[in-house]
Amino acid sequence: MNFRLRIAFAVLWLFSVNALSAQIGFSLPIINGAVPGTNKSLSVRVSNFDSIVSMQYVIRWNPAVLEYTNIDLFNLPGLSIQNFNAQRALDSGFVRLLWEGPNSFPGVSLLNDVSIFRLKFKVIGPDTSSTFIRFTEITNAFPATDFEIVKVIRPDSTLAAFNELQCNLVHGFVAVGYTVATTSPDNDPLALSLSPNPFSENTRAEFYLAQTADIQVVIADAAGRILFQEDLPQLPAGKQGININKAVFPAKGAYFLTIRTGSQTSSRTLICN
């Protein structure tokens, strides 16, 4: 039986992301330089997690790169290992979450950046291998699991269900034996920023030049393959920006933008949803 059928209230589907005051967010980290044979932990963190009644979704990875070992550090009422298909996660490459809060009203609320649980893996892939860890749904298994987050909408306490396109999902990534270069925003010589990020259609990269400079823009995938490259000669000092269309990206996932001048380099992770 589909999980949503266990909800004994009328559910209002919201199809427009623009109608959301703040998107519910789930994120997993990027782990660089993972060593084969070591253990890695990835915490699932939330944002705008307000008045949530229930959740169901799947987290997927490449089982040839990461071997599931455990799930722990539960931080939701009633959430435990029993809410996951952990007995099948070892060889399947996915884990299914089905959770319903103890009370439909007022739902469960958490502060931003709080971890709700932690996934634990053993790195079994060789050097230069990698895998995404994605929030998604699964339809080719039994039971099928739609991505669905149900929350209380005020002021009339209506229940609304959100699918994966209506949530802000930042997928994780594990690079084995190498590092995907990213520049810390606090130490960025070009003050590179992306907005929106994650994005579904377009994003804009903005950066600051202390003096006139030749600029090179490079977008690469997680394996280092260059998808886009452009040289911009003699950009003047001050704030600059470029628009990036989703047509650059072959699929949803994490990519890497690098802006180079003659002496400075800044990089950011791009999340295409």
What confidence tens digit (pLDDT) does each residue in 16-61 have? 333 334 789 898 888 888 999 999 999 999 999 999 999 999 999 9
Structural domains of the chain ordered from first start = 3-176 (2.60.40.680), 185-272 (2.60.40.1930)
End-to-end CA distance of the chain: 29
The whole-number average pLDDT for the span 137-164 is: 85
The mean of the pLDDT values for the chain is 83
Give the per-residue pLDDT at 3. 39
Who wins on pLDDT, 97 or 185? Answer: 97
Give the per-residue pLDDT at 22. 72
Which two tokens mark 178? 């190498």
Widest CA span of the chain, in angstroms? 63
Who wins on pLDDT, 10 or 159? Answer: 159
Percent of the chain scoring above 90 in pLDDT: 41
Where does the pLDDT of residue 141 fall: very low under 50, low under 70, confident under 90, or very high at 90 and above? low
Q: Distance of CA 122 to CAs 73, 109, 129, Å?
A: 17, 32, 14
Q: Rounded to whole angstroms, how far apart are CA atoms 100 and 103?
A: 8
Res 241 pLDDT > 50: yes
Where does the pLDDT of residue 222 fall: very low under 50, low under 70, confident under 90, or very high at 90 and above? low
R_g of the chain computed on alpha carbons: 20
* Angle at CA of residue 163, ends 157 and 166, nearest 5°: 85
Q: Rounded to whole angstroms, how far apart are CA atoms 272 and 249?
A: 8
- DSSP state letter for 35: P
Give the per-residue pLDDT at 12. 32
- The single-letter code of the amino acid at 31 is I
Q: Lowest-pLDDT range, 87-96, 183-192, 225-234, 257-266?
A: 183-192
The whole-number average pLDDT for the span 232-259 is: 89
Q: Rounded to whole angstroms, how far apart are CA atoms 172 and 137?
A: 16
